[in-house]
Amino acid sequence: MDNPINRKEIAPGVYFSTVNDDRYKFHRVSVNFYTELNETDAPANAAAFCILTTSNSRYPTYKQLKNRLLRLYGSSVEPHYYKKYDYQCMGMTAQFLDDVFALDGENLTELLTDMLIDCIFSPITENGAFPEKTTELEKQTVIDSIEELINDKRSYAISKAVSLLCSGEPAQYFANGTVEGAKALTPQKIYDAYLKVLSTMRCEIMCVGRGDFSLVEQKLTDAFSTVQRKPVMTDIIRSTPKSEPLYKTERLPVNQSKMVIGFKTTSDDKDALSLLQKIYGGTPSSKLFANVREKLSLCYYCSASYDSEKGLMLVDCGVENDNIDKAREEILRQLELIKSGDFTDEDVNIAKLTVTNNANSIYDTVRGMERWYLDCVLKNQIDDPAQYAMRLSGVTRERVIEAAKSLVLDTVYVLTSPEKEED
């Protein structure tokens, strides 16, 4: 299969990519800005995109903007702000129905591209800054987004563990910074952040859908030509292992404890590490699922994930408070077994089949393709999903063992309930 992505630079540090396929009924056009994550700027960057998607010079209130989008068959222009590796990524995405389904023959591609451009380049301003009232409301959105992290205990535990694992690196911070930082935002601070985003940050525009995106390209090229761009490009830092593992316990009123065990690797064999993740804890026949869950009945979920750019392997599980030690020992023991070669060729084949199956499924959704290729451009290695699966199918059992041996225990984070007071 040919690599379906086309990518070109349309302004300094602004890259325009398209992925075309007739199978899709929807299109996604996303504008993604990347900067090295830092706690000080993060809340303002996130708030800027919250504000930009509430209104623009053509639709000056959120209600007007939202109703226009709803009228266009529930199209959306939504902000995003998240952490990826050492980057803060923020921007907005337009999703809309293919023109062929429009009941009244509207040209949705053109209408949504205009809407996206108006939101990014023509915001409502007051005295050279964002309006006071909108700022106040969207500041709250950012504050809520930081505080809400606690609602999902699994994600919260992983975020806290990553902060400890990546201490001293940009990835240690939460995506939107701190509540204190968000509370200190002003209309001017956010507007200045917005201008800095537009003029200095690397930008990746990703269009996925069926048909022709040349009009989108032309309009976005024209829009970016009005900005003086001096892009600042930064690299991802490979995380270095601590000299001694860090053990950290946090206490909150919870019924089930969460444990995250973080390993680091300095190995460059990313393909072998990806396959190792599947064998260790990436499928229902993995070592962690088969033993920690099925054999010992300790957990409902216990799985591994791998961050190829930071060099991290995380295992996370939900476990009864009394079984934390037992689960940790078994998780570590299973890795030792893989290091000693105690797994079969069939385990390796199963992992490869899973990779191939997952890779082929990515082609079926616009969202899947968008995520895949955005990750590729950040990693600076553009493979299509099938090529990636093909490469992993060449990984040998010996390489998996070496990959396992390269993992060093770095951090064990436990979220558990408060200790009971003695009578």
Partner 1 sequence: MSEKIANSRLNEEYLRIKHPSGATILLYPMKGCSSTYALFGTRYGSVDTTFKTKNDADFITVPEGIAHYLEHKLFENDECDAFELYAKTGANANAFTSFDKTAYLFSCSQKFEENLEILLGFVQDPYFTAETVAKEQGIIGQEIRMYEDDPGWRVTFNCLKAMYHNNPVRIDIAGTVESIAKIDKDLLYRCYNTFYNLNNMVLAIAGKFDVDKTLEICDRLLKKSDDPELVTRIPDEPEEVLTHRTTQKLSCAMPLFNIGFKFPAYEGKEQLKKRAAYSILLDMCLNKGSDFFERCFEHKLINYNFNTYVFDGRGFFSVIVDGESRDPDKVYDEVKAELNRLKNDGLSEESFITVRNTFYASQIASFVTAEGVAMNALNCEMSGIGVYDELEYIAAITFDDVKEALAQLDTENSALSIIEPAEG
What are the residues binding partner 1 (CB under 8 A)? 21-26, 61-63, 66-67, 70-75, 97, 101, 103, 133, 137, 140-141, 144, 147-154, 251-256, 283-285, 289, 293-294, 297-301, 318-320, 346, 349-350, 352-361, 363-365, 418
Residue 15: CB minimum distance to partner 1, A: 26
Residue 232: CB minimum distance to partner 1, A: 31
Q: How many CB atoms neighbour CB 406 within 10 A?
A: 20
Residue 158 vs 198, nearer CB to partner 1: 158
Q: Which residues contact 279 (CB under 8 A, 6 or more apart)?
A: 286, 287, 338, 343, 347, 348, 350, 351, 400
Dist CA 287 CA 177 (whole Å): 36
Dist CA 382 CA 271 (whole Å): 14
Residue 254: CB minimum distance to partner 1, A: 5
Residue 385: CB minimum distance to partner 1, A: 9
Which of 270, 239, 241 is CA-nearest to residue 400?
270
Residue 155 vs 167, nearer CB to partner 1: 155
Dist CA 272 CA 233 (whole Å): 29
Residue 18 vs 283, nearer CB to partner 1: 283
Dist CA 271 CA 277 (whole Å): 10
Which of 115, 97, 93, 76 is CA-nearest to residue 31?
93
Residue 168 vs 253, nearer CB to partner 1: 253
Residue 360: CB minimum distance to partner 1, A: 3
Burial class (CB in 10 A: 0-12, 13-18, 19+), 276: buried
Report CA-CA distances (Å) from 386 to 7, 112, 240, 265: 19, 31, 31, 26
Bridge partner residues of 393 (DSSP): none
Residue 102: CB minimum distance to partner 1, A: 9
Q: Would you put residue 307 in left (φ > 0), alpha (ψ -120 to 50) or beta? A: beta
Residue 157 vs 190, nearer CB to partner 1: 157
Dist CA 100 CA 89 (whole Å): 32
Place of tokens 């069926």: 210
Q: Which two tokens stand for residue 301?
A: 């979920």
Q: Which two tokens stand for residue 74?
A: 């529930």
Residue 366: CB minimum distance to partner 1, A: 8
Residue 71 vs 183, nearer CB to partner 1: 71
Residue 85: CB minimum distance to partner 1, A: 26
Residue 113 vs 239, nearer CB to partner 1: 113
Residue 18 vs 53, nearer CB to partner 1: 53
Residue 178: CB minimum distance to partner 1, A: 14
